[in-house]
Amino acid sequence: MSLPTLAILMPGDMGHAVGRTLREHGHRVLTCLEGRSARTHALAEAAGLEDAGDLRKLVTEADMILSILPPASALPQAQDVAKAMGEAGTSPVYVDCNAISPTLTREVGSVIAISGAAYIDCGIIGLAPGKGTGTRFYVSGADTAPMEALNGKGIEVLALEGGIGAASGLKMCYSGLTKGKWTLQTAVLLAAQQLGLGDALVSEFEFSQQEELSAMRQRVSRLPADSQRWIGEMEEIAATFADVGVPSDFHKGAAEIFRLLAKTPFAGETRETIDTSRTMEESIAVYAEHLPKTPGTT
């Protein structure tokens, strides 16, 4: 029996790596590069993904579609795919793997349901396949079997009870800690920089917070490359928390930190071009230049 044909929308940092590992495990993997950037074309080519040309052809040939892209594009893409399904008269399984709130994933699911396609809620935790110890795809919904069939094919698939929203909720809570912590570290360093206490704080961290400082040195300089797409993720986390009565202002602040980093010249870097020689201290000094001016400053 032939393996199902899969589609990845879109082949960015995570998407192309997922597509590559699924192709290496025997699947035909499609994508749609219409209107995409030169970098996306290059990533898709490097992963060996097959360009379907347009969405209508893609939904005709794919058995399952994995949506992997920035949060703000999750709903518009689902609308485009649902329209293409309606025009083609097909209904491949649609898996939303984006960092979005339970509320938004239910909205995306309702759009897909109009086309008659099955919908799976999915939250990805971990580095892209090939870059870490394992990429975990948490899934939830009425029938998660199509995704569970991919377990062991370069990714780990774990089913959750709770229906649509459970997988996205878990992703929101997880990223609330990880990426939220990175923005907290950056904010603390920026405040010390502005107070003229940067060196003193780092010196204290060297004495009493060595593990935390080591993590900051490895992470803080790398954040701008992903900052633009992580703004939306922090806003989705804030919305998730607010929906269940948990204070959400922290992650609204986290979104502001990423918004600040997206204004720096380092935001033009990609994960392939990050200047790994740039120190934490050098990075913070540049970030500080882009802070809003406070009263009495010039």
* DSSP-derived secondary structure for 42-70: HHHHHHTPEE-SSHHHHHHH-SEEEE-S-
Confidence at 5, pLDDT banded by 50, 70, 90: very high
Let me know the angle formed at the C-alpha of 36 by 85 and 122, rounded to the nearest 5 degrees: 55
The single-letter DSSP state of residue 102 is H
Of 163, 171, 166, whose CA–CA distance to 136 is shortest? 171
Class of 6-164 in CATH: alpha beta
Q: Which residue has the tokens 């969405």?
A: 55
The single-letter DSSP state of residue 268 is G
Terminal Cα-to-Cα distance of the chain (whole angstroms):
70
pLDDT recorded at residue 134: 81
* CA 82 to chain centroid: 22
Are 248 and 241 contacting, i.e. CB atoms less than 8 angstroms apart?
yes
Reported as a single tens digit per residue, the pLDDT across 195-241 is 999 999 999 999 999 999 999 999 999 999 999 999 999 999 999 99
Residues 6+ apart with CB under 8 A from 6: 19, 22, 27, 28, 29, 30, 62, 63, 64, 65, 66
Q: Please, which contacts does 86-92 make with residues 24 or more away whose CB atoms are closer than 8 Å?
A: 86/114, 86/115, 87/56, 88/56, 88/59, 88/60, 90/59, 90/60, 91/115, 91/116, 91/117, 91/118, 92/7, 92/59, 92/62, 92/63, 92/64, 92/65, 92/117
Reported as a single tens digit per residue, the pLDDT across 239-268 is 999 999 999 999 999 999 999 999 999 999
> Is 264 strand, coil or helix?
coil
Whole-number Cα distances in Å, 9 to 21, 217, 241: 15, 33, 27
pLDDT recorded at residue 293: 83
Confidence at 271, pLDDT banded by 50, 70, 90: confident
Reported as a single tens digit per residue, the pLDDT across 21-34 is 999 999 999 999 99
Are 10 and 40 contacting, i.e. CB atoms less than 8 angstroms apart?
yes
- How large a percentage of the chain has pLDDT more than 90? 94
Give the architecture-level CATH label for domain 172-289: Orthogonal Bundle (1.10)
Residue 108: CB atoms within 10 A of its CB come to 27
Reported as a single tens digit per residue, the pLDDT across 133-187 is 789 999 999 999 999 999 999 999 999 999 999 999 999 999 999 999 999 999 9
| Backbone phi, psi, residue 123, to 5° | -125, 125
- How large a percentage of the chain has pLDDT more than 70? 98
Return the C-alpha torsion angle 249, 250, 253, 254, nearest 10.
-140
Residues forming CATH 3.40.50.720 domain(s) in the chain: 6-164
In DSSP terms, 121 is beta-bridged to: 96, 140
Are 160 and 88 contacting, i.e. CB atoms less than 8 angstroms apart?
no
Question: Has residue 298 got a pLDDT over 60?
Answer: no
Reported as a single tens digit per residue, the pLDDT across 39-80 is 999 999 999 999 999 999 999 999 999 999 999 999 999 999
Question: Max CA-CA distance within the chain?
Answer: 72
Residues forming CATH 1.10.1040.10 domain(s) in the chain: 172-289
Question: Has residue 297 got a pLDDT over 70?
Answer: no
